[in-house]
Structure formats: structure tokens, C-alpha cells
Chain A
Amino acid sequence: MARILTSSDCSLCVEFGDTISKEINRQVRAFTLAVEAAGIQGVTELVPTYRSVTVHYRPEIMGYARLYERLHGLLNGLAAADIPPAETIRVPVLYGGVHGPDLETVAKRHDMTPEQVIELHTAPTYLNYMLGFMPGFCYLGGLDERLHTPRLTTPRVRIPAGSVGIAGSQTGIYPLDSPGGWQLIGQTPLRLYDPKREKAILVDAGMEIRFFPIDEREYERLRRENYPEEFVSEGGENP
């Protein structure tokens, strides 16, 4: 059962559980949509995570008790809430070579060929549970167990933006240049995060991601053109 907790005097935390699960994510998404649709005055921002939705509000416009009641009401109506299908974003990846310097290592570790790693990595539809850590960084669920790989013992000082990697049971994309210890298997020319673009960050919590392999020529073309719309489509595999 969901709980409404205090996270500050300007925010409430609506908590749905304390594990990573598709069912909790479904509730988080349904509740986020319900609060958005309710258009509650004074609510400034919603932050969905694995476990909860933080509802930020302005206490000079909306008091704690009233907001608590409104959110409680929305929670009660949640079971019947109609959740639209998740959007899917298709992420082109150039696997291996300088773009994925650890592809061979990952393949060797699991007694596979690089092609098999690519096959297993592009097969699932990943669920983006939440974003955090840095702008546009997605916490994806759904990596095939056969690809689970520990982090590098010595992290790299600089991982270029767009790098696609594996760390333990997680796979993800670095939205901007940063240090890190992930095993890098490829790189996408898609800019998931571009602060100058009207839609600065392409992926939202609850969206689904699919990777597909591209070659060097396609990588260069997409890097120059970077039309994100062609990769986003509605209706994934969500109920």
C-alpha cells in the first residue's frame, strides 16, 4: 500500500515500495500521470523514482494538509487509472572498436563472440525506471543475465558522451562526458541530453528503450543530422 511521507516542508514523497519492480514502476507512472492531469495549483515539479514520486509544491499557495488530502484522493482512484502505452525510443549503437573498447573483454568473459553480445544486448526492450545521477542518465532494467559484467577495476578518467556500457546487472548510456568504471561496448550518435535543444532530454521515466546496431557510415550520418523524432514511437510492450 502506498504511503504519503514528508520529504521536506515544500515536498511530499508518495512511496509505493522499496524494491525495483515493474509493478511498482507501473504505479509510480500511473500516479505521476494522475497528478499531472489533476493540475493541482501550487505543485511545481514531480520526480518519479524506482520507489516513489516526490511532489514539490509551494506552501504559500498550497498548504500541507490540503495537498495531502488531494494526493490521498488521487491514490484511491489509482487502480482504475488508464495508463497510456509507454513510448519507445530506439537507440542506434555503433558497437565495438574505438566506440566500444570493452566489447571484446565482455565477450571473452562470457565465452561469446562480440556478435553474440550485440545480439543479446539488442534483443530486450529495456524499461527506463527513472533518471538521476546526471542529466539524462537512465536507470534501465532488463539486461540479459548472460551479459552481467563487473565494473572495471580502474575507472576511466573520461568516458565520452553517448557511450553505452554495462556495470553489474545494469546497462546504460552516458549522457555527457564523465569519469566512470562501466565496461563500454558501444556508442550512440543520439544526443540524449542537449541543453540547447527545445526538448533537452529525450528519455522520460517509464519510457522503453531498444538498442539497434549501426555501422560507421550510419553513425557519422546520425551524428551530423541528429533527428531524434525518427527514433521515438508510441506504444511499446506495456499493458
Chain B
Amino acid sequence: MITFLKKGLLTTVQDLGRTGYQRFGMPVCGAMDPFALELGNILVGNLRGEAALEATVLGPTIRFDTTEIFAVTGGDFAPTLNGEPIEINRAYRAAAGDTLALPLAKSGARAYIAFAGGLDLEEVMGSRSTFLKGGIGGLSGRPVQDGSEIRLRAPVDDLPDLEDRYVPADLLPAYGNAVEVRFTYGPQEDLFSAAGKRTFASHPYTLSDRCDRMGFRLNGPAVELAPGCDGNIISDGICFGAIQITDGQPIVMMADRQTTGGYPKLGCVIAADLPLLAQLKAGDKVRFRPVSVAAAQAVYRRQQKILDKLEKRFALRPPDPAEEPPLCGRFLIHVNGVEYDIYLEEQYDA
């Protein structure tokens, strides 16, 4: 079990979100920086989508009541274990009575603390993510409080190769406080003038202090609408990273966004760059660069491959055949005296 000595600014339980219910108006929620969440889980041998803690700018102080394995990922909150600095992106063992503190974000805005064995909290509609406005998920739909306690579902007090469980920085997204994020145009790009689109793609925008889990308001040069567009549309779906323009200024829709909305969307931040955005603080700068969907998906697949490889490296159990893609065949091939075991996977649907 873990006990919160200090709750931090906003500490919530998040996994990869409550998918499948957007058509019913249910926000997805989930980690703002899904890469960091998955990385933390991989380091401690969890499934990638396991629920973990998301800390915001000022992190919590946690006491371990039993021996546990944990990892801190995402923003660098200068974490300490019993007062001694520890690294981010590395798994550690904490003994009963140890204290983990994440005092303040040195860089980034959101840190994730993953615990081996996962958090023993009820799933609501298929997810443990906290939906703050709806008051469900995580700790009864609320942020962590001083004195909150969470049990672990399948606690682990040791992991094989614990000292090797770390991830070098070159595998991480290029986090920073002045970043370039890529976006794809659409679905309402034709409601903006050519000049408006040029403005958006060629000037830096500053993250305002109106930035939370629902959306990030940015300040910068006004994005001009096309002639005849009044800045409203009949409601349409909203994706994670969607760039809405209201009164000329962009709002990027984040994890707790409403599922539908009536403002035109110029584009959407690509999935692989959402972590860069999620780690910005008010006052940080961002430039937007348009890319094709094909380019965006190539970047995304590369990012997923990094996580796939790390997952294989740190996996505790042999892969579950039920989770593997369907096999078309398996061959044993000998090349220059080396035996290769080839699995041929069916690609996409036939």
C-alpha cells in the first residue's frame, strides 16, 4: 500500500483512457502524456496501459507501506527517495517506510509514477482513469488528497535485472519548453483563409495560464477565418490534439475534452507529438508545422516500435498468444549455420 503525505497540485490516477464511449458523450480522459505513462509501466513490468499516477507541476509525497517497485517518467520533478535524488525513467525498489517525493517540475509539467502490479482501484466503464468533471474513476473521481491510500493489485517486491531497467534519454520524445509540434490539417481547414493558415504555421504561440486537462489555450497572432465563416459550425466530433480556433486564438483539445463541439478545427496535433505539448507549462512556446497524414503515421509507428522493443526487453512473462496478431505461418530457417525462427503475421484485414 502507498499513503500520500502530500497530495501535490493535481495528482490523479490515469491509464490510457475510457475508450468506446465517446458516442455517448463520455470524455476519454487518460494520461496527457501517454508515452510517459506507457514507458513507466514497461519499466516496472506492467501492461502498457496499466493505471498510474499523473502528477502536475508540484508532485506528491508518497510513503511506501510495503516493499514496492516503481518508476517515475515524464517531466523531471527532481524526485527523491528518502531525500536522496533518484533518476527518472528508471525502476527502483522502495522498502516499507521509504518516502518518495516529487517536489517541483524542473522541466516538463506532468510526471507519471507507475507501480509494479498496478493500482487496486475499480474499473469504471473499462478504465481506471479519473474523470474529474464526471466524478468517476481513479479515487472515486477525485484527485489524490493528503492522507489518501491506494493498495496495489498484485504487489511485486523484486524484479529480474532491476538495475538494468532504465531508458536512455535518446529514446524519449524531444521534450522542452520551446517545442515544435507537427499537425495534420482538417477537418474544417476550408473554413480558414490561406493567410490564416499561413499565420498559424509560421508564428510561435505561447501557452496561456488557461491550460488544464481539458484544453490548452494559446496566445499569438490571430488566425483568420475564410470569408463568410462566422466561427461556428454545427457540432462535430473532437479528437485528442484537435486545434479549435475561437476568436482567432487556438485551443488544443486535451485528454478531458468534450467529445463534440461547435468551433471549427484547423487541424490536429499528431499523436506522436502530443507528449511534447502535454509537458508544456504556461508561458512556454510552441510552433506548429503541418505534415501529411502518411508522415504523421510513420512517426507514430516509429514511436510505437520504441515502446514495443522496450516492452519485449523488460517483459516479465512470455507474450500471451491471445494478444499476438494472427499468424499465417512459422518457419525455421538456417542461414550460415544460424537458426532463425520466423513468425509470419497476417497484415491488416484480408
Considering only residues 193-249 of chain B, those with a C-beta below 8 Å from chain A are 233-237, 239-242
Pairwise interchain contact B186-A13, C-beta atoms closer than 8 A: yes
Residue B64 at the A interface, CB < 8 A? no
Residue A112 at the B interface, CB < 8 A? no
Pairwise interchain contact B19-A62, C-beta atoms closer than 8 A: no
Whole-angstrom CA separation of A8 from B136 in the bound complex: 27
Pairwise interchain contact A41-B349, C-beta atoms closer than 8 A: yes
Pairwise interchain contact B25-A131, C-beta atoms closer than 8 A: yes
Considering only residues 184-229 of chain A, those with a C-beta below 8 Å from chain B are 195-196, 200-201, 203-205
Contacts of A134 in B (CB 8 A): 25, 133-134, 258
Pairwise interchain contact A6-B304, C-beta atoms closer than 8 A: no
Whole-angstrom CA separation of A54 from B260 in the bound complex: 10
Residue B82 at the A interface, CB < 8 A? no
Pairwise interchain contact A8-B184, C-beta atoms closer than 8 A: yes
Q: A35 to nearest B CB, angstroms?
A: 12
Pairwise interchain contact B297-A63, C-beta atoms closer than 8 A: yes
Residue A33 at the B interface, CB < 8 A? no
Residue of A nearest to B297 (CB): A59
Asked, given contacts A6-B293, A18-B234, A134-B133, whether A47 binds B124 with beta carbons under 8 Å apart, the answer is no
Contacts of B133 in A (CB 8 A): 134
Whole-angstrom CA separation of A51 from B134 in the bound complex: 26
Contact of A50 among B125, B235, B294, B349 (CB under 8 A): B235
Residue B23 at the A interface, CB < 8 A? yes
Q: B333 to nearest A CB, angstroms?
A: 26
Contacts of A46 in B (CB 8 A): 23
Q: B130 to nearest A CB, angstroms?
A: 12
Q: A11 to nearest B CB, angstroms?
A: 5
Stretch at the interface among B51-59, B164-172, B264-272, B309-317: B264-272
User: Most A CB atoms within 10 A — which of B236, B261, B349?
Assistant: B236
Residue A48 at the B interface, CB < 8 A? yes
Whole-angstrom CA separation of A152 from B349 in the bound complex: 53
Q: A28 to nearest B CB, angstroms?
A: 11
Asked, given contacts A5-B187, A9-B271, whether A48 binds B23 with beta carbons under 8 Å apart, the answer is yes
Residue A153 at the B interface, CB < 8 A? no
Residue A127 at the B interface, CB < 8 A? no
Asked, given contacts A6-B184, A64-B294, A131-B25, whether A47 binds B234 with beta carbons under 8 Å apart, the answer is no
Pairwise interchain contact A8-B240, C-beta atoms closer than 8 A: yes
Residue A137 at the B interface, CB < 8 A? yes
Asked, given contacts A7-B268, A42-B348, whether A200 binds B239 with beta carbons under 8 Å apart, the answer is no
Contact of A195 among B20, B136, B185 (CB under 8 A): B136
Q: Which residues of B contact A (CB under 8 A)?
A: 19-27, 124-125, 133-134, 136, 184-187, 233-237, 239-242, 258-261, 265, 268-271, 293-294, 296-297, 300-301, 304, 348-349
Q: Which residues of A contact B (CB under 8 A)?
A: 5-11, 13, 15, 18-20, 40-42, 44-52, 54, 56, 59-66, 130-137, 139, 175-176, 195-196, 200-201, 203-205
